[in-house]
Amino acid sequence: MNKTIVAENAPAAVGPYCHGKLAGNTLYTSGQLGLIPSTGELPEGVEAQAAQALDNLQAVLAAAGMTCADVVKTTVFLADMGDFAAINAIYAKYFPGESPEGNSLAPARSCVQVAALPKGALFEIEAVAVK
């Protein structure tokens, strides 16, 4: 059985979709832009947009009873691959690389440059999480 996830602390969807779908123990999220939930506006710069998008992703995860630790795969969409290093520094704050035992805690990830993102955004992220 599927359950629709709607996060009160994430910006409303900008199209006919939901924040996420929980299928059994697996959550599939829709892409999260760096929209500020209270205003629907994008902050200036890729770093600010990436941090806000990751905060929005955390809100969707929380609405499903999950955290970043439950994420097994992300896909990052960039308007400019030249921003790769800058977003990695921000991404690492949400998904730390290794446990004290040396095990990787970071999820699998793909990162692609796209021709354009909705609302002229510079960064978008989607995730799959398993509880």
Of the CA atoms within 13 Å of residue 69, those in its CB half-sphere come to 5
Average pLDDT, the chain: 94
Contacts of 88 (CB under 8 A, 6+ apart): none
Q: Which positions ≥6 away from 71 have C-beta within 8 Å? A: 61, 95, 107, 127, 128, 129
Question: Which residues are designated catalytic?
Answer: 111
Mean pLDDT computed over 34-49: 97
What residue segments make up the domains of the chain, in order of their start?
Answer: 2-130
Q: What's the whole-model pTM score?
A: 0.94
Q: What is the pLDDT of residue 13?
A: 84
CATH number of 2-130: 3.30.1330.40
Q: What is the pLDDT of residues 70-123, one digit of tens each?
A: 999 999 999 999 999 999 999 999 998 766 666 677 899 999 999 999 999 999
